Amino acid sequence: MIGRRIAAVVLAAVVAACSGTHSGGAPVATRSIDEVLADHTDSLMAIPGVVGTAIGLCDGARCIKVLVADSSAPAARRIPSRLEGYRVVVEVTGAIKPRG
């Protein structure tokens, strides 16, 4: 009986220690990158200097890209490095204007 309780406590500790992370210690995403981007685009676009958001590839993995007008924009300091487990990369694109 005591052996089973100890085993249960050890198993619970291992599960707690491993949940929410994968190799590298980054949180594991529980929602799709499309859902995460859709939910965060408005708040990212509200940051001065941000001109767009996108899903891209970063080192072979899908990531969220936040597009900024220029590298001196204070926006870069306000953009998180991860959103719900997905890597966020700031990319300088310049101003984005519609054609016409």
For residue range 51-99, what is the model confidence (pLDDT) as tens digits? 999 999 999 999 999 999 988 767 778 999 999 999 999 999 988 888 8
Give residue limits of the domains in the chain.
Answer: 30-92
pLDDT at 12: 36
Per-residue pLDDT averaged across 21-48, rounded?
Answer: 82
Whole-model pTM over 0.85: no
Which CA distances in Å does 52 have to 34, 43, 46, 65, 89?
A: 15, 11, 10, 8, 12
User: Measured in whole angstroms, how far is the alpha carbon of residue 45 from the centre of its chain?
Assistant: 15
pLDDT at 82: 97
**Check whether domain 30-92 has CATH 1.10.1740, yes or no:** no
* Whether 89 contacts 56, CB under 8 Å: yes
